[in-house]
Amino acid sequence: TIAPPPTARHHLGAHGFLAAWTRTTRSCSRSSPMLPSWGLPVLITTAAVAAYLGLQRALRWRRARRLARLSADEASVEILNEMYQLEMPFIITKAAEFALFRTFGVPTISKLLDSTKGFEPDNVLSRYEDTTLLIQHFAYFDVRSNQHAAAALARFNQIHGFYADRISNDDMLYTLSQFMLEPARFCARFGWRAFTPHEREACFNYWRVLGERMGIRQIPTTVDELDAWNRAYEARAMRYSVTNQRVAEGSVLLFIKPYPRCVQPLLRRVIYALLDDRLTDAIGAPRQPAWLKGLVR
């Protein structure tokens, strides 16, 4: 055997075990005239790395292959749950946060949000938690069959109903489109893999069902059409206003507040580095240097 006995590993610790392993492999290498002194450790390390990469490749794409066999319409909620909670939960959670943040660059949206006082320092946390709780209920469970999801969506509609005469259909559709598109965009930029076309379609299909139940009209019929509409809307509607800046500032403070005060200025710059120039200008934030954007991304 080339490994030291268990008692030796126990008493030697990590560094001692490594030294014993090295001495043993060198001894084995010297006993084999076909290998140089460093040959066996390199051979073992290479085999271990190759085995790990092979196992990783076989298992890492297993879920993607399984999701590809599901219906992008009937099983859309199951596909979303797998993506949101198992495949890339951290990235997609941040994508949802930035999806909402992006709407703050539209003056007609930020003006209404600012008027509710929900983004003032004393209120922003409770508003964020309430909104997150409602969205998670109808995003993770099928509103077509789950009564809790249907109740959460009904409450969501009731809240928006108070402002029905102040919310345009385009603003509602734009907000919806952010949740339909931003997770896939975020994963393409920052995730270990991008959404497949099948997964993008499933995300689109279920959020379209939600949009229809919210009373949103003229929802595009395909992902590509929605993407084109979303970009055209931003080009004509996203511009600077004071309310954009106030609402965005409330959210930035929410993101950085849990961290020590000494690192908050740096975290603020990191957040701004994730934004494109159009959104940066629309919320009145300073543009970050290219080297910081590259480092963060």
Q: Given a cut of 60, is residue 105 above it in pLDDT?
A: yes
Predicted pLDDT at 29:
47
DSSP 3-state helix, strand, coil percentages of the chain (rounded to 5)? 75, 0, 25
Considering the chain, what percentage of its residues have pLDDT values greater than 90?
A: 54
Residue 251's alpha-carbon distances to 104, 127, 193, in angstroms, are 10, 10, 28
Banded pLDDT at 23 (limits 50, 70, 90): low
42: confidence class by pLDDT, cuts 50, 70, 90: confident
Task: From residue 19, give the alpha-carbon distance in Å to each of 7, 12, 35.
Answer: 15, 9, 20
Q: How many residues does the chain have?
A: 297
Q: Are 240 and 281 in contact (CB under 8 A)?
A: yes
Q: What is the 3-state secondary structure (H, E, C) of 9-64?
A: HHHHHHHHHHHHHHHHHHHHHHHCCCCCCCHHHHHHHHHHHHHHHHHHHHHHCHHH
1 has pLDDT over 50: no
Whether 189 shows a pLDDT value over 60: the answer reads yes
Condensed to tens digits (0 to 9), the pLDDT of residues 245-259 reads 999 999 999 899 889
- The CA-based angle 179-209-132, given to 5 degrees, is 40
Q: For 227-245, how does the pLDDT look when each residue is reduced to its tens digit (9 = 90+)?
A: 999 999 999 999 999 999 9
**Per-residue model confidence as pLDDT tens digits over 265-276:** 999 999 999 999
Residues 87, 80: Cα–Cα separation, whole Å: 10
> Residue 84, class by beta-carbon neighbours within 10 Å (0-12 exposed, 13-18 middle, 19+ buried)?
buried
pTM, 2 dp: 0.79
Host H or E run for residue 248: helix 242-256
- Position 160 scores a pLDDT of 87
